[in-house]
């Protein structure tokens, strides 16, 4: 039986990274059936693929792992992300893609049915919402919205803030695709959706329902799509506060992609300097 020791004994051999090591806790590699991969900062940065990502993902497929790409970024639809990955030489299909935009649209449909939504987001969420049967109302008709969805919107302005705030104050539900503080880009971190969500919270005093990582809502959807238990999948990402926390809350093993020793909690089970090392870590041999 091939096992990992939690928090990095094998990871240290592969990486030279130091980590806490709890010998009493083991993950049986042979039980794993699926790999859940974050995108931004893990598979690519901005429009630049991470070196070795395409090869690593292809190798994981060859090893028999099911792949699910899980992103908090709602700026593109599932089809948009598939196109982006394919342009980078990374094989992907829509059925392997779960975005916070799609998850938010599904959550609203499951809980509230087809809804009238004011979207303070980019086009990716709007496309997913319409595919799910929702109506996206224009900004000037904010009073018709029963739900306000806030996500990453690089065209965010005062008019959008005012419309969202007035709709929520008038009784519309407030839902956030995610609360990521930053978004990695080729030139450095950009403000994430969390900064826009914080602005709406500051005006309204209302806490949103958050769908994206680390929420169990999106993690449970991912496990349902893969048809696996939480101990049969490993979550790979580059942020403690979203990816690793999501894995910890679901009882799922985790791998942090980072070139430095992580500070804070929860602790990842492994730290890899690059996704290209992932097949070696997950080898069943």
In tens, the pLDDT along 191-207 reads: 999 999 999 999 999 99
Active-site entry in 40, 153, 180, 243: 40
The pLDDT value given to residue 22: 36
- Indicate if the pLDDT at residue 87 is higher than 70: yes
> What average pLDDT does range 135-155 have in this prediction?
98
The pLDDT value given to residue 262: 75
Distance of CA 14 to the CA centre of its chain: 26
DSSP E strand boundaries for the chain = 3-6, 22-28, 34-37, 44-45, 48-49, 66-71, 97-99, 116-120, 135-136, 147-150, 173-176, 182-183, 190-191, 209-210, 233-237, 254-257, 270-272
Query: Residue 193 half-sphere exposure, CB side, CA atoms within 13 Å?
Result: 28
* CB contact set of 187 (below 8 Å; sequence gap of 6+): 46
CA dist., res. 254 & res. 162, Å (int): 39
Residue 115 — φ and ψ, nearest 5°?
A: -130, 160
CA dist., res. 120 & res. 98, Å (int): 20
Identify the helix (H) or strand (E) that includes residue 219: helix 216-226
What's the DSSP call for residue 138? P
The share of the chain scoring above pLDDT 90, in percent, equals 85
Q: Which residues pair with 6 in a beta bridge?
A: 22
- Indicate if the pLDDT at residue 176 is higher than 50: yes
- Indicate if the pLDDT at residue 172 is higher than 80: yes
Q: Which residues pair with 233 in a beta bridge?
A: 34
The pLDDT value given to residue 285: 52
CA dist., res. 73 & res. 179, Å (int): 10
Identify the helix (H) or strand (E) that includes residue 283: none
The pLDDT value given to residue 48: 95
CA dist., res. 78 & res. 91, Å (int): 14
> What average pLDDT does range 144-155 have in this prediction?
98
What domains appear along the chain, each with residue ranges and CATH number? 3-72+228-281 (3.40.50.1000), 101-210 (3.40.50.1000)
End-to-end Cα, the chain, rounded Å: 10
- 83 catalytically annotated: no
> What average pLDDT does range 121-141 have in this prediction?
98
Please, which pLDDT band fits residue 4 given cuts at 50, 70 and 90? very low
- 243 catalytically annotated: no
pTM, 2 dp: 0.90
CA dist., res. 256 & res. 261, Å (int): 10
The pLDDT value given to residue 269: 93
- Indicate if the pLDDT at residue 14 is higher than 50: no
The pLDDT value given to residue 259: 84
Per residue in 24-81, pLDDT (tens digit) is: 345 677 889 999 999 999 999 999 999 999 999 999 999 999 999 999 999 999 999 9
**Whether the Cβ atoms of residue 14 and residue 278 lie closer than 8 Å to each other:** no
Q: Return the SS3 of 190.
A: strand
Q: Return the SS3 of 80.
A: helix
* CB contact set of 33 (below 8 Å; sequence gap of 6+): 65, 66, 226, 228, 232, 233
Per residue in 237-283, pLDDT (tens digit) is: 999 999 999 999 999 999 999 988 777 789 999 999 999 999 999 99
> What average pLDDT does range 14-28 have in this prediction?
44
**Mean pLDDT value across the chain:** 91
3-state helix, strand, coil in the chain (%, to 5): 40, 20, 35
The pLDDT value given to residue 23: 35
The pLDDT value given to residue 263: 74
Q: What angle do CA 192, 197, 202 make, to 5 degrees?
A: 130
> What average pLDDT does range 105-109 have in this prediction?
98
Active-site entry in 23, 38, 110, 269: 38
The pLDDT value given to residue 203: 98
């Amino acid at each position: 039986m091939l096992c990992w020791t939690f928090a990095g004994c094998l990871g240290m051999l592969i990486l030279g990274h130091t980590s806490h090591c709890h010998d009493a806790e083991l993950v049986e590699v042979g039980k794993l059936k699926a790999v859940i991969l974050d995108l931004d900062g893990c598979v690519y940065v901005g429009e630049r693929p991470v070196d070795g990502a395409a090869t690593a993902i292809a190798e994981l497929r060859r090893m028999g792992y099911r792949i699910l790409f899980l992103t908090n970024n709602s700026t593109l639809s599932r089809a948009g992300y598939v196109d982006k990955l394919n342009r980078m030489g990374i094989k992907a299909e829509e059925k392997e893609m779960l975005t916070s935009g799609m998850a938010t649209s599904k959550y609203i449909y499951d809980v509230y049915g087809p809804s009238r939504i004011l979207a303070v987001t980019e086009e990716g969420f709007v496309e997913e919402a319409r595919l799910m049967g929702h109506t996206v109302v224009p900004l000037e008709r904010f009073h018709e919205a029963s739900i306000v969805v806030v996500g990453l919107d690089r065209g965010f302005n005062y008019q959008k803030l005012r419309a969202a705030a007035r709709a929520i104050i008038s009784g519309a539900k407030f839902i956030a695709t995610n609360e990521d503080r930053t978004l990695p880009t080729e030139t450095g971190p950009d403000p994430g959706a969390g900064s826009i969500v914080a602005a709406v919270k500051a005006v309204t005093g209302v806490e949103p329902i958050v769908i994206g990582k680390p929420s169990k809502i999106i993690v449970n959807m991912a496990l349902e799509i893969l048809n696996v238990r939480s101990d049969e999948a490993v979550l790979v990402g580059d942020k403690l506060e979203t990816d690793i926390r999501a894995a910890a809350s679901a009882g799922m093993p985790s791998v942090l992609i980072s070139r430095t020793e992580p500070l804070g909690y929860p602790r990842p089970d492994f730290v890899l300097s690059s996704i290209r090392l992932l097949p070696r870590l997950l080898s069943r041999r």
